[in-house]
Amino acid sequence: MRIRSLTIGLVATAAVMLVPERTAQSEAQFVMNFATVAPDNTPWSKQLRGVEKRIEAQSNGRIQVKLFLGGSLGSEIESIQDVARGERIQGGGFSTGAMGEAMDIPILSMIELPYLFSTNAQADAALDEVLYEPTKTALEAKGFVLGGWAENGWRNFATTGPASTPAELSKFKMRSQESPIHMDMYKLLGVQAVAKPTSEVLPSLNTGIVDGFDNTALFSLAAGWLEPTSHYTLSRHIYQPASVVYSKKFLDAMPAELQKVVIGDPLAESVRGRTAVRALEGELLDTIRSMGKTVVELTPEQREVFKNTTRPVHKTFLANHRELIPVYKQVLGKLQ
């Protein structure tokens, strides 16, 4: 409870600002169930409630949005597949890795290659100037409409002891996101990793099934995962965006003017999400320290060891997806 209270104190805004205004119009013509594993009282939930409010207001009540947070409609993989069908769920906010794995969209998985990016500016340039259009096309082929990027942020290692080197990290059994790239990364680090959906992470930590995990400071705090751990190592090994997506089947059934309302301004949505998450990083790390956890900042030399150890993941991925080599090279061109 302490973790959740501290997190809410940092990220919650006045509830009156978040409650959608209901118009005095007739019954909604379209109802959109929008799912995410993002917890409530976070910048993610705030952003999504803003999307909910915007769509309902701009459609004059013709579209009603029902927002389901915290994985209440199922795991990321399940929810993503449901959005593609457009029946039970019509929209969602999901991590790129989960989207790539659930729907076999390699370009989304590529974004989460370890140590692909070093700074926020590099990630933003690659996502907006190189990857947005091909990602949009790939998603449409799988039944999705891209509504913009969101942000989880930089993933770091949380463990029950020091993890400043691969040798130290290898002492722990780590929870991995359900992604071959994440599992391959851990294998190269000599770590025994167990793939678990978000709903199973905290019970696995509390019962000793796993000794640690990797995720952002914000998600780790909001989900309550840090309590069983002692160290939070700022490895920044994966930059993880998320995507706001809608069911193409659902949107295609709408008049053109309502489709435009739902999609909105994807670039502005991306900037909004990034700004809200990044503004909290310092406060979140202070909160972790206040919980008695050791926050470790890797030296450039220590980070380079992790980077060099996990670099073969890039080679393996590209060998399996040779069609992405040109866009991968374009991404690298943005990192100069």
Can you read off the two tokens belonging to residue 216? 């952002």
Question: How far apart (Å, rounded) are the C-alpha atoms in residues 295 and 311?
Answer: 25
Q: Which domains does the chain have, with CATH numbers?
A: 2-333 (3.40.190.170)
Question: What is the predicted pLDDT for the residue at 97?
Answer: 87
Average pLDDT value for residue range 258-274: 93
- What is the distance, to the nearest Å, from the Cα of residue 316 to the centroid of all Cα atoms in its chain? 23
Can you read off the two tokens belonging to residue 221? 């705090």
For the entire predicted model, the pTM comes to 0.86
Strand partners, 92: 35, 245
| Backbone φ, ψ for residue 283 (5° rounding) | -65, -40
Question: What is the predicted pLDDT for the residue at 336?
Answer: 77
% of residues, the chain, pLDDT over 70: 92
| Whether the predicted pLDDT of 115 surpasses 60 | yes
Residue 27's pLDDT band (cuts 50, 70, 90): confident
pLDDT digit string (tens) for 116-156?
Answer: 999 999 999 999 999 999 999 999 999 999 999 999 999 99
Average pLDDT value for residue range 72-76: 92
Q: Is the dihedral of CA 311, 279, 266, 79 positive or negative?
A: positive
Question: What is the predicted pLDDT for the residue at 26?
Answer: 52
Distance of CA 187 to CAs 73, 135, 167, 297, 303, Å? Answer: 31, 28, 12, 23, 17
pLDDT digit string (tens) for 76-99?
Answer: 999 999 999 999 999 999 999 889
Question: What is the predicted pLDDT for the residue at 8?
Answer: 42
In terms of Cα–Cα distance, which of 63, 43, 54 is closest to 242? 43
Distance of CA 93 to CAs 34, 79, 112, 155, 328, Å? Answer: 8, 10, 16, 18, 24
| Whether the predicted pLDDT of 114 surpasses 80 | yes
pLDDT digit string (tens) for 165-219?
Answer: 999 999 999 999 989 999 999 999 999 999 999 999 999 999 999 999 999 999 9
List alpha helices for 111-247, DSSP H: 120-125, 132-141, 166-169, 180-188, 201-206, 217-222
